[in-house]
Structure formats: C-alpha cells, structure tokens
Amino acid sequence: MLDHPSPPLSPSTIPMDALSEVLQDFRLSGVNYGRCELRHPWSIAFPQQQLLRFHFVSQGPCWIHTEVQGWQELNDGDLVLLPQGIAHRLASAPDVEGDSLKSCQITKLGSNVCDVLRDGTGATSTLFCGSMTLGAHALNPLIALMPPIIKGCDVAGNDAVVGPLLAAMSAEATQPQMGSATVLSRMADLLAARLIRCWVNCSGASTTGWLAAIRDPNIGRVLAAMHRDPGHNWTLESLAGVAGQSRSIFAERFSAILGEGAAHYLARLRMQLARDLLAQNGMSVAEVASRLGYESEASFARAFKRVTNISPGIVRRTSSGRIDMDFGF
C-alpha cells in the first residue's frame, strides 16, 4: 500500500490551511430538504440515520427532544445541527405525541426539495429541514468527534457571519419566492460548514488525535490529501513530500499525533470508504477495488478482510444498497 514508489506531490500545491481543504469540498447533498408549515399541535419523530441533519426554525413554536438532552425549546431564527443523525423528535410542544406527518400534505418542488403543510387551528410553525449525506469523506473523522447536537445560536458569537445568515434564511423561508428552495439549501451548506469550523476553533487545544492532526500545518496537509484522494498510490516518500518533511520526521510525527502509522491509517480510511461504497452506492467489488487504487479485486478483498474481518462480497450482499429517506425530507 505504501511500498511502491510514486512521484511526490509538491507541498506548494497543497493549501496551508488543512481545514479549509477539508471544507472546500463540503456539500450537503444526496437526500432531501423540506420547507414545513405546520399548525399546532404537531409532532414528528426522526429515527437514527447515518446522515447529517439540520433544522432551521423561521417561526415557532418548536421544541426538539433528544435522549441525551431531553426537551429544548427552539426560538425563531434558531438552527440545530445533528452531525451523526441521532434519533430525535420535533414538536410544537413537549406534551404533543404521535406522528403528525401522516396528516401532512407533501408536495415535491424539485428533485430533492418539498413543501410540507399541515392544516389546523393553532399557531403556525415554519421550518426548513434537511437530511443529507456528506460529499467530502475527509469530514468523516471530524463528524465522529462532534457532539450529537449543536445549536447555531451557541456558536454565533464566535462567527460574525452566522447571525446574518440565520436572519437571511429566516427571511427566505418566511417569504418564499421563485428559487427559494435552492437558495435555502445553499445557505444551509454555508451555515453547516461555518458551524463545523466554529466548533473546531472552540474545541480546545489537544496535542493528540484527529483534531490536533488537522491543526498541525504539516500533518494536516497530509490528512487532507489522503482523504481527498484515498485511491492515490501514496508512499511514505510522497506523504512526507506533502508534509514538507523527511520520511523519518514525518513518520514519527504522524504516529505521535494520531497514535498509528500512516500506512495503517490509510488502510482504515480506504476500508471505511469501501464499506460506504459497497453498502450505500451498490458498487461492485471490482469497481470499488479500482476506485481505491488496488491492482486487482483479489488484493482489495484481502486488504478489506484484514482490516474489517469480513469479506467485501458479504457487505454488498447484505446491504440494501440505499439509505432509507424517512418522511421524504
């Protein structure tokens, strides 16, 4: 995996800010957005999914319940980010039970945007909700480290742009015009990226682990490069070239921060991506092997089983090949 020579990449071609490189491919893509107008009383449950979710409250009432934090009231202009897609419930009040989605009228506005309306006599809640995959696999280790729920208002003080963006989303959701759904989805991309960056900046100064590595000007460039192109024929020489260090200094520094060697880290990264491609994208084993830089399906299968203790064929056969998109948004 790291024992075949490959031309080193010039450090000057890799941005110094590794987090920027990780975030530059950030896209909330692949699933659905919903603009919701719900009349009190209403309640909707969102089961656990391997998706990043967010909910933006343009106008309340709205409460969110998670197992860890219980009920929390969301005010007008609040945005919550659920990086790991944990199970949760939204409701117009904590005492409202049941599944109100069954009584909603859902209208498709495009390939991935819909209107969700529920008539009633109570106050109207206007929400913009998203359920999406991450287009950048470089974010996966970062997402795994994040708390289960992040409120935009909690980090707005650390980013002067978050407040105006929330206000702009509120105006767009309250007074929809032609193209509003697309504008809202683009704003959601930017807001989620900035919330993630705020969390990274405010999460302390650990000297080991993935956050410490992405902050390191040398090792961070290497992580970003590996995650952006895991199928490249990386060698110790080429990775050290990206870091701008000698082989020995790079290998020692990488292991000291991440607790494992670069070859082992790259193998785990490739197999994590392989499982996603086999289980969710329905790719064949041969296609995944080629995408990840293996010369043959057999060599990939051996590496996959060595890291995961299961064959790639079993993963592919036992997977549905898709992610269930609950509730349509």
**How would residue 89 be classed by pLDDT, with cut points 50, 70 and 90?**
very high
Cis ω for the linkage preceding 41 (within 30 of 0): yes
The answer to whether residues 139 and 276 belong to one domain is no
The pLDDT of residue 107 is above 90 = no
Q: What is the CATH classification number for the domain harbouring 161? A: 2.60.120.10
270 in a structural domain:
yes
pLDDT at 71: 96
Domain boundary among 201, 226, 244: 201
Domain boundary among 201, 224, 256: 201
The answer to whether residues 63 and 176 belong to one domain is yes
Domain boundary among 173, 201, 229: 201
Smallest CA-to-CA distance from 58 within 76, 42, 80, 44 is with: 76
Domain range enclosing 250: 11-18+207-318
Interatomic CA distance for residues 153 and 207, integer angstroms: 28
pLDDT at 326: 46
324 in a structural domain:
no
Cis ω for the linkage preceding 164 (within 30 of 0): no
CB 308 within 8 A of CB 314: no
**How would residue 134 be classed by pLDDT, with cut points 50, 70 and 90?**
low
pLDDT per position as a tens digit, 211-264:
888 888 899 889 888 888 889 999 999 999 999 999 999 999 999 999 999 999
Q: What are phi and psi of 275, to 5 degrees?
A: -60, -40
Residue 185 exposed, middle or buried by CB count within 10 Å (0-12, 13-18, 19+): buried
